[in-house]
Amino acid sequence: MKTLLSLLFLLCALPLWSQSSQKPEPVNRGNQETRTLHKLLKMPEQELSALRQTIERIEAMDSEEKERMRVRIGKLEQMQPERVNALRERYKAIDPETRAAMRKRWMEMAPELQRDWRDRIRDMAPEQRAEVFDEQGFLPAPVKRPNGPKPPKTKSE
Provide mean pLDDT across the span 35-39.
Answer: 92
Q: What distance in Å separates the CA atoms of residue 93 and residue 140, rounded to the nearest whole number?
A: 10
Quick check: is 143 in a domain? no
Quick check: is 87 in a domain? yes
More confident residue, 105 or 2: 105
151 confidence band (pLDDT: 50, 70, 90): low
**Do 116 and 133 fall into the same domain?**
yes
Provide mean pLDDT across the span 90-101.
Answer: 84
Enter the pTM of the model. 0.45
Quick check: is 145 in a domain? no
Domain that holds residue 6: 1-14+63-93
Provide mean pLDDT across the span 32-47.
Answer: 92
Quick check: is 116 in a domain? yes
65 confidence band (pLDDT: 50, 70, 90): confident
Check residue 100 and give its pLDDT: 83
Q: How many domains does the chain have?
A: 2
Quick check: is 121 in a domain? yes
**Do 2 and 67 fall into the same domain?**
yes
Quick check: is 3 in a domain? yes
Quick check: is 106 in a domain? yes
Quick check: is 105 in a domain? yes
Contact 50, 58 (CB under 8 A): no
Contact 151, 83 (CB under 8 A): yes
